[in-house]
Amino acid sequence: MRLLVGLGNPGGQYARNRHNVGFMAVDAIAAAHGFAPWRSRFQGQAAEGRLGPDRALLLKPGTFMNLSGDSVRAAMGFYKLEPADVIVFHDELDLAPGKVRVKTGGGTAGHNGLRSLGAHLGPEFVRVRIGIGHPGDKRLVSPYVLGDFDRSEEEWLDPLIAALAEAAPMIAAGDAAGFMNLVARRTAPPPSTPTPSAPRAEEPAAPPEDTRSALQRLADRFR
């Protein structure tokens, strides 16, 4: 069994925050793959279902970001799971908006949710890092991640969330490369269509070669 965790903060006021993109991902996975309805479990919201042939549990901790590990640890204990069975979807400041990378282990880069998970699980869980970009100044990070996605960002956000849901069986099966490749294909911009060039104006035909002799040309001028 795999435990897929979306990181975010509970409550409608946070629903469209950049910090809640993990919640958005697991919500989309539940809808795309026919999971059972969400219900209150493990200090959060959980939904059971299948990704491909494998059973999976989706979890949205209800403990707020900096206590996410409490909820995840409770679910792991119930199902007797190891850190390697846990896949965490979270926002990533150090990736460009819309980029996705998968890694196992590593630091927390100041992410409170990852810090809490690391304290409970250790570092060896799978992270699906969802790029949201950086505001450019560390003093702006808090209002940026706790701010809603702009309407202009929905152009890449909505296709990305749909792609994450479609590719979820691959990451659940341990195929990180296949997962990232599918997400990249589904979110790549369409190839640009060359603008047809305007038809070129026909060049005037060259005048016919004058084959008259010099004497004939002179005579013709006075006719």
Which run of H or E residues covers position 90?
strand 86-92
Structure tokens at 181: 């490749």
Q: Which helix (H) or strand (E) holds 75?
A: helix 68-79
| CA-CA-CA-CA torsion sign (77, 83, 85, 90) | positive
Which residue's structure tokens are 């990451």? 171
Q: Residue type for 148, please? A: D
DSSP string, 149-198: PPGGGHHHHHHHHHHHHHHHHHHHTT-HHHHHHHHHHHHSPPPPPPPPPP
Catalytic residue list contains 134: no
For residue 6, what are the contacts with CB-CB under 8 A and spacing of at least 6?
22, 23, 24, 25, 26, 27, 58, 59, 60, 88, 89, 90
Instruction: Report the distance separating Cα 71 and Cα 83, nearest Å.
Output: 14
Distance, in Å, from the CA atom of 218 to the CA atom of 89, rounded to the nearest integer, reads 92
Chain center to CA of 143? 21
* Residues annotated catalytic, as ranges: 19
